[in-house]
Structure 1
């Protein structure tokens, strides 16, 4: 907002101020104190993935009883248990918002990352750019820390997205996994067998994928980038550690150096969009 943007902060349908109703809506889930500590606020104390040891930017001890942690945890609300339903509902609601307000830059983070691709798929002319901050899971399979199960069946989305040549079902995607990873502590990516189906509705939208040094996403966000590039999407990929911005986790926007990170995003926008 300080940079002159009109900002729409969107509550996911059936979450936060967008009320959930037990008679009509879907099963909910919540996030435990332990999960928040391990994944977001104090991963360096648990080291569930190799990069976690570098985490240092959370403003506090990151554990229950610390006032910063308690304030953050108090802000957490239940969400619909099905990521596919959340993605579909968010796609439909944001598409309607874009119809009202006109073209906009989408900024997504974490779970909402898959919805960003889905929104752009049906409103490609109204999405000026996508800034995907550690978006969702890697293509096809979850990371081992989450169990390594099949997840994003359509590559970068849970629900159907338009490919060319067209697909009737996600099972028509022909897949191959890297034999060797691209570096130490990096996931083996799933890709399409060539020639790859393209994502035509995303092809003309500038995309930034940004990942921190210490998040669990540091192990696999390059896989999302590879999938998108293989499918014809114009993607820039920034690892904050390559800019000497160190120690951040998945909730980088709440951490001590968040203004420095925001500057990286603004600089990218000035180059590619504004």
Structure 2
């Protein structure tokens, strides 16, 4: 897994670093720059005083796909699917934070599509690998807050399952859902939040999980601060809202921020790079700061830069 690191020029203002995990067929550049060329959430958070790690999940971006290692690739993310998810034509009146064209030939849509690839064919195995690599990164950097987007969310839930003491909180932007189903075209989230195995307390067979929600906790997320963020014009908001309810029912310290409830209208699934992305990064910073304030101090720490040419091979 490739990892890129950036920090403020002076001592970070916050004691915990942030790890940014991109969505489905995307890559770490989703956090670096917007489709129209503005700074993305990663530089925004650095400007706000955070040490930031941006990952390319295995098989995506700068983490090249080796079929002998990662398994068979799935089908590419169709251009039409990207358009309907990020800039649906029937939502133009309400989806005002995507101020650009919605045609597949418009430059912003071309830029967005250029960064997309494919998921691995075995979704469960892919999520396991993502979670394991994030856990390895946490072993190196210590306690951190995760920010995930869309289909990158399961890697965050699994990292917390593997390293509950090192995940201080999770900000899940439009996480993939709904529980036990997931979006059309993908394998179901059999464990509620993930397609990959997730520990519960008490341990239960996966077949019993849907009927017994509220009777068990997701072990690695018990008491973990989690914020789910959804946009008012997103076709994925209902699934993400159901994920927030499931998190609360299974033991996470959850709150759901639906942006219209804060007076912020017009955002879609790609809210991390839409026209008000900097404003939303500032809103994220407010929540991240509350998490750092409730986390016991670990003392001084030396930031670990692994953005060298050996970094992508180290995890």
8 Å CA contact 2:134, 2:155 repeated in 1 = no
Q: 2:123 matched to which residue of 1? A: 83
Pairing partner for 2:161 from 108, 117, 121 = 121
Confirm or deny that 1:262 pairs with 2:308: no
8 Å CA contact 1:59, 1:68 repeated in 2 = no
Confirm or deny that 1:10 pairs with 2:47: no
8 Å CA contact 1:140, 1:156 repeated in 2 = yes
**Higher-RCO chain (CA-CA 8 Å, sequence separation at least 6):** 2
RMSD of aligned residue pairs (Cα, Å) = 1.9
Pairing partner for 2:197 from 152, 160, 183 = 160
Instruction: Return the offset for 1:120.
Output: 0.3
Structure 1 residues 56, 174: closer, same or farther in 2, change over 3 A? closer
* Ranges in structure 2 where 5+ consecutive residues have no aligned partner: 1-45, 294-315
Q: 2:150 matched to which residue of 1? A: 110
Instruction: Return the offset for 1:193.
Output: 5.1
* Ranges in structure 1 where 5+ consecutive residues have no aligned partner: 176-191
SS at match of 1:10: strand
Aligned residues: 247
Structure 1 residues 26, 245: closer, same or farther in 2, change over 3 A? same
Which of structure 1's runs of 4+ aligned residues deviate more than 4 A?
none
Q: What is the CA deviation profile of residues 7-55 of structure 1, one whole-angstrom value per residue up to 9, with x for unaligned ones?
A: 11111112211111234422232112211111112x1x245xxxx7521
Instruction: Return the offset for 1:174.
Output: 4.8
Q: TM-score, normalization: structure 1? A: 0.84
Partners of 1:23 and 1:228 lie apart in 2 by 35
Q: 1:183 matched to which residue of 2? A: none
Q: 1:184 matched to which residue of 2? A: none
